[in-house]
Chains A and B, each alone.
Chain A
Amino acid sequence: MLTVLVADDTSTDRMILESLVRQLGYITVPASNGLEAIAFYQQYQPDIVLMDVLMPEMDGLEAARSIKKLAGENFVPILFLTSLSDTESLVACLDAGGDDFIPKPYNKPILQAKINAFGRMRELQTTLLQQRDQIRLNNNTLLQEQAVAKKVFDNVAGKGCLDDPNIRFHLSSQAIFNGDVLVAAHRPNGNLMLLLGDFTGHGLPAAIGSMPLATAFYGMVSKGFSLQDILREINHKLKTLLPPGIFCCASLLEVDYQVQQVKVWNGGLPSGVLYRGVSGEVELLSSQSLPLGIMGNDRLNSQCRYFDISATDRIYLWTDGIHEARSFDGEMFGEARLLEVFRHGSDVKANQIFDRILEAVHEHVGSDVFDDDLSLVEISLASPPEPTDDQDVGARGDQGLIEWSMSFEIKPPTFLHFDPLPLLMTVISDVPGLRGKSAQVYTVLAELYSNALEHGLLQLDSSLKNDAEGFAEYYRLRKRRLEQLTEGFIRFTLAHSVNGDEGVLRLTLEDSGEGFDHHNKLRETGEKDFSGRGIALVTTLCASLTYEGNGNIVKAVFTWKD
């Protein structure tokens, strides 16, 4: 029910007015001058004020000004009661904050209709204010929730190697969480793996999808899973967890510093760029697959492209925020302008491209209204970062796995879909002291396993891998022969012991293949040629490496000291 303040110094006038208002079903509060009107306004918080202009103590105009001031953003209609009709007086009433006039003597129907009309306005405005406050509250809550989600995500995402000196990135600051995700980590063999993703939408739905992506990525990269395995796992997770309509455009790449090759997969992101430092040429890393999280793994094209790289090459990835950055008149930045930055090969030094791209976008958009929604990553392929031993190397001692051996054999069709290395690395990482050497142990295991599988069981010729084209061909053959493989085995035997401050890990791999003439090959050409670069590396890491049987058994001894 509305409360109406009636301020008039003539008591009869006031009583008549009060009775008219009460007939409408409203409550009245009488005041006999301006000062009282202000006091009662504060005390009773009326919805509407009826105010005589001429009153003792304080007149209506001054009281109106004070009440409007006290009301602040609340709308309190003030209707002046007046017998005056000259323009100047009426204007003064409105200037003082009045909203309308009620002429004396009172016309009952008009008076009541006006009070009702202002009552409706007052209610409307009250509702608006309440809704505005509710929206403001909801928005603050939403922002707080997003900030919490972002914090959790940063904790998950931040444990990677994004601070490597060869990675530079710029991530949007537009929203708290704009749906762009960047994660990077080293595989146990030292290869760099990096994923740039762009979820549909902004805010919480995007943040929610980023969590399983980042946890799967970091969990799997550190255990040595392959790029394809990681892709499939993330795709499966997102497809299962996210509703249809939310998905992730992404590019995933692996840099192999030893072989000087990069492996790239792109599903739905705009083409990235492989910049050739020597020639200044540009190769596009275009999308060849559906984005992640749309279809099941049976429909995911996980095929990658391989590129030979040299130390002066750089890779650039971005999300569509760069392409879609709009100038003042709505024109998008677009791919052409982006690629133009790379064409100024002679003017722009390679290490300035990253900054030049950002500058070009800023120039296009106009610096004063730059609401930045873009993500940009640069990976320079110069040299592998210094290997950092795990910080949490357990104190060497008598805790955990010390004296042990295990044997593990796999047979078809397990080779096709199962990578035994992550499983073995889980055991290795439980050995105190050896945990810090897991990168070396992984390299040894990985090289010996791929030799046993690819040369022993599948009889592949490693000389195919001498160029990028042959490399792809090699892996096509590998896949086909794996699918056709129906018999054979590879047996791992691992034995670990500690003697004083020295630990010894003995690795034996036996495969059911034909082997090779290891006596002659070793004599004639040295070990480098018969199984490629990998074995040379293994030899440097191990105390000894010997072949037995028909060359189908290889024994490596890996020693370590504190």
Chain B
Amino acid sequence: MAISSEMTPNGAMLKIEVSGRFDFSSHHDFRKTYEELDSKPESFLVDMKNATYLDSSALGMLLLLRDYAGGDESNIEITNCSPDIRKILTISNFEQLFAIN
């Protein structure tokens, strides 16, 4: 598990990269990426390129991010999902809450 993040130079978008297993052990690191920002970015990109697995507490973390980013007004994209991860997101119908591609 590893979480890294990077802000676009203009501060408009926060890119969060998840590697390995995305589960409860990433909880603290994942929240830290956005809770310690000086100002809230307009949008978020969660890159799953190197994520191998995602469990229900990870779904919970995505919901927390969504809540932080403004709930229904939030702008969060989840990208580069492997078929397994995509399936878990689909079972929970998370495409209703996030832009997934």
Contact = CB atoms under 8 A, between A and B. Distances in A.
A201 B64 CA distance: 14
B57 A200 contact: yes
Interface residues of B, number: 18
B60 interface: yes
Contacts of A200: 56-57, 59-60
A249 B92 contact: yes
A291 B96 CA distance: 11
Contacts of A286: 91
Contacts of A245: 60-61, 63-64, 67
Interface string A12-36: 0000000000000000000000000
A166 interface: no
A294 interface: yes
B97 interface: yes
A10 to B, nearest CB: 58
Interface in B44-87: 55-57, 59-61, 63-64, 66-67
Contacts of B10: none
A246 B60 contact: yes
Interface stretch (A45-53, A212-220, A264-272, A377-385): A264-272
A198 B56 CA distance: 9
Nearest to B62: A245
A302 interface: no
A247 B60 contact: yes
A327 interface: no
Contacts of B92: 249, 267-268, 287, 290-291
A119 B64 CA distance: 47
B39 interface: no
Interface string A189-206: 000000000101100000
Nearest to A246: B60
A239 to B, nearest CB: 12
A291 B60 CA distance: 11
A201 B60 contact: yes
Interface in A278-305: 286-291, 294-295, 299, 301
Given A198-B56, A200-B59, A320-B56, A244 B93 contact: no
Contacts of A270: 91
B44 to A, nearest CB: 15
Nearest to B92: A268
Contacts of A289: 93
A269 B90 CA distance: 10
Contact of A290 (B56, B67, B93): B93
B45 to A, nearest CB: 20
A542 B34 CA distance: 66
A290 B91 contact: no
Given A201-B60, A294-B97, A299-B96, A287 B55 contact: no
Nearest to A335: B87
Contacts of A269: 91
Of residues A244, A269, A270, which shows the largest number of chain B Cβ atoms within 10 Å of its Cβ?
A244
Interface string A226-270: 000000000000000000111101000000000000000001111
A324 interface: yes
A46 to B, nearest CB: 41
B59 to A, nearest CB: 7
A291 to B, nearest CB: 6
Nearest to A290: B93
B97 A290 contact: yes
Contacts of B60: 200-201, 245-247
Contacts of A267: 92-93
B64 A288 contact: no
A201 B58 CA distance: 10
B91 A244 contact: no
Contacts of A247: 59-60, 63
B83 to A, nearest CB: 12
Most chain A CB neighbours (cut-off 10 Å) among B59, B90, B92: B92
Nearest to A293: B63
B31 to A, nearest CB: 10
Contacts of A324: 55
Nearest to A288: B93
Q: Which of B56, B64, B90, B96 has the most CB of A within 10 A?
A: B56
Contacts of B67: 244-245
Contacts of A244: 63-64, 66-67
Contacts of B91: 249, 268-271, 286-287
- Please indicate which of the listed interface residues A200, A247, A289 has the most CB atoms of chain B within 10 Å of its own CB: A200
A291 B67 CA distance: 16
Nearest to A271: B91
Given A244-B63, A246-B60, A291-B92, A201 B97 contact: no
Interface string B19-50: 00000100000000000000000000000000
10 contacts: A200-B60, A201-B56, A201-B60, A245-B64, A247-B63, A269-B91, A286-B91, A287-B91, A294-B63, A301-B93
Top 8 nearest A-B pairs (CB, nearest first) are A245-B60, A244-B67, A245-B64, A268-B92, A200-B60, A290-B93, A287-B91, A200-B56
Interface of A: 198, 200-201, 244-247, 249, 267-271, 286-291, 294-295, 299, 301, 320, 324
Interface of B: 24, 55-57, 59-61, 63-64, 66-67, 90-94, 96-97
Given A201-B24, A287-B90, A287-B91, 4 more contacts: A200-B56, A245-B61, A267-B93, A287-B93
